[in-house]
Structure 1
Amino acid sequence: MKQTLYQVDAFTNKPFTGNPAAVCVLPSPKDDEWMQNVAQEMNLSETAFLVKQQDGYSLRWFTPTTEVPLCGHATLASSHVLWSENHLSPQESARFHTKSGLLIAKKQEDWIELDFPANLSETTPTTAEISQALGVPIKTVMKNSLGYLVEVESAELVRKIEPNFTLLVKHFPQVIVTSIADNNSEYDFVSRFFCPGLGINEDPVTGAAHCCLAPYWRNKLNKDEFLAYQASSRGGVVKVKYPGLDRVLLSGQAVTVLRGEIVC
């Protein structure tokens, strides 16, 4: 049976920027092997699979090599598909049942707001080793359930980092690198996310990383609303709200760039 599949650029309103994700809305569940094979064939950082339920959709995310418990940009892409393909009306919220619990998305004009769990970080004493792997001096190293969060001195350093991926995948398989934005910037902070442990060296724009970055920068900047830029080669913009509870509100835009069929 043929399955329609969409490729969506998330956290952007311009095609060929942001973070691409594949989205497949299934009439009934598929087995894990089939979903992993499709994700490998798509060869994007994540492919999302949705199945309609009475009170929303089940949602699972696969990289080309493994299933992951949470993915922001593929959730944003999935929400975009549900509204743009008329599975939901603009007034309806998208409810996703996932391995990270219930996630809710709301359409707000040209933006989509995601309600995600916050991810708090703790200080860890691995400064010298991770500095060697990243190839830059660092200010702070934190640890959370996603991986490591590293602050460096400037946004310029964030953009210039060329990691030693052999060291990263062995010792630090998932690392967020961040800095306060330049003084004249419209953004509050910038970041990049290196994740060779997930089968990709760098994720272009990462919702889950901003669930870690929001609590970190709230403590540093003494504010709870941010405009963030992920400084990968494709780039992407994330609006972030974190009032200090256990949830983070992430907002982004998305655009469909491809629609096709899986024929096997």
Structure 2
Amino acid sequence: MQLEFHQVDAFASRPFTGNPAMVYRLDRWLDATLMQQIAAEHNLAETAFVVKEDAAWHIRWFTPCAEVPLCGHATLAAAFVLFEQYEEPGEVIDFTCLSGALQVSRAGSQLVLDFPVRRAQPYEWQAEVEQALGVPVQRVLALHEGQGIQELLAILPSEAAVRACQPDLSAVAKLPGQGLLISAVGERHDFVSRYFAPAIGIDEDPVTGSTHCMLTPYWAQQLGKDALIAYQCSARGGELQCELQGERVKIAGQALLIASGRLMLP
């Protein structure tokens, strides 16, 4: 069996920036164990699989070691592949996933994600987050989904503090939730961030669309405006244009095709 794949740099205007994602358009679902093995083989932050069922696109995302309920950059990459490589008609692609309905639309050279708002609440165990980061933080918030914490968000005093932070990744992996997000007001952008998720196989994610579903409502309230320009200041880096619209977040960015090929399976 041969499976066609496409590697895309999402939230990138030039190669080798933004966040790389692998995309597979399948005729039918593979076994979940096999999809996890394929994601581990590629060893990127996310591998996306899409299947058209009942006239709707279904999407699933896998890190090298776990399936996740929501991923922004790999959704952007998947939409880019469907539009550009498979000539999906129209200007909008509707996806369904574990987190509900998602939408990606074309806007000139950009693609725009339409994702649900994810509102974080104050988290009382600030000391353990500070210990993992090795720096003082202004506040910590937690995103609660289902029966537990999905993500943690720590607010730092400055962009310089975000850029300089060198967390203890083993300690971060022991915190509740999938990962730890740090953020601050930006110097040339409205806000900046970095995201660490060693518990799911991602020491630091280059550019994370889904975390901006938390960051956008937080900074919209703090800064008093709904349209924001964000920058994820990882080594690769990436800019995101975010807008809060009620209970939805619009996240816009560019994407580039980097490689295509075939996976050979017995």
| Normalised TM-score (structure 2) | 0.95
| Residue in structure 2 matching 1:152, options 149, 153, 156 | 156
Instruction: Please name the residue that 1:240 is paired with.
Output: 242
Partner amino acid for 1:111?
Q
- Whole-angstrom distance in 1 between the partners of 2:54 and 2:172: 43
| Offset of residue 87 of structure 1 | 3.2
Does residue 97 in structure 1 map to residue 96 in structure 2?
Answer: yes
Where in structure 2 are the equivalents of 1:55-70 lying within 5 Å?
Answer: 55-70=55-70
Distance 1:44 1:87 in 2: 25
SS in 1 for 2:29: coil
**Which residue number in structure 2 is paired with residue 176 of structure 1?**
181
172, 190, 193: which one aligns with 1:191: 193
For the structure 1 residues 209 and 239, does the alpha-carbon distance in structure 2 shift closer, same or farther, using more than 3 Å as the test? Answer: same
Greater displacement, 103-112 / 79-88: 79-88
Deviation at 1:86, TM superposition (A): 3.3
Please report how far the alpha carbon of residue 249 of structure 1 lies from its aligned counterpart in structure 2 after TM superposition. Answer: 0.8
Q: Contact (CA 8 Å) 1:55, 1:95: kept in 2 or not?
A: no
Shift, 1:156, TM fit:
0.6
Secondary structure at 1:132 match in 2: helix
Which amino acid in structure 1 is aligned with residue 9 of structure 2? D
CA shift digits 1:174-222 (9 cap, x unpaired)? 111000011xx1x100000111111111111001100000111011001
Partner of 1:47: 47
Query: In structure 1, the residue corresponding to 2:211 is in which secondary structure?
Result: helix
Letter in 1 for 2:220: R
Note if 1:72 corresponds to 2:72: yes
Q: Give the alignment partner of residue 221 of structure 2, picking from 219, 226, 230.
A: 219
Query: 1:104-161 CA distances to partner (integer Å, 9 max, x unpaired)?
Result: 1101111001110100011112222211110111111111133111110100110111
Deviates more, 1:122-131 or 1:22-31: 122-131
Whole-Å separation in 1 of the counterparts to 2:94 and 2:15: 26
TM-score by length of 1: 0.95
What does residue 107 of structure 2 align with?
108
Q: Distance in 2 between matches of 1:11 and 1:126?
A: 33
Distance in 2 of aligned mates of 1:86 and 1:124: 44
Moved over 4 A (4+): none
In the alignment, which residue of structure 2 is the partner of 1:127?
126
Alignment-mate amino acid for residue 176 of structure 1: L
Output the aligned Cα RMSD.
1.1
Give matches, 1:131-146, under 5 Å: 131-145=130-144, 146=150
Alpha-carbon distance between aligned partners in 2 of 1:121 and 1:5, rounded to the nearest angstrom: 35
Letter in 2 for 1:163: P
SS at match of 2:21: strand
Q: Tell me which amino acid in the other structure corresponds to 1:119.
A: R
Structure 1 counterpart SS, 2:214: helix
Report how far residue 54 of structure 1 moved: 3.3
Is 1:262 the counterpart of 2:263 in the alignment? yes
Deviation for aligned residue 1:234: 0.5
Letter in 1 for 2:205: D
CA offsets per residue over residues 218-238 of structure 1, 9 Å max, x none?
110010000100000000011
Partner SS state of residue 29, structure 1: coil
Check whether the contact 1:214–1:242 (CA below 8 A) recurs between aligned residues.
yes
Aligned residue pairs: how many?
259
- The worse-fitting range, judged by mean Cα deviation, of 50-59 and 9-18 is 50-59
- Counterpart CA distance in 2 for 1:74 and 1:202 is 16
Does residue 30 of structure 2 align to residue 26 of structure 1?
Answer: no
CA distance in 2, matches of 1:95, 1:261: 26
Could you tell me how far apart the structure 2 residues matched to 1:52 and 1:165 are? 38
> Where does structure 2 lack aligned partners over 5 or more consecutive residues?
145-149
Q: What is the Cα deviation at residue 55 of structure 1?
A: 2.5
Q: Structure 1 vs Structure 2: percent identity of aligned residues?
A: 41
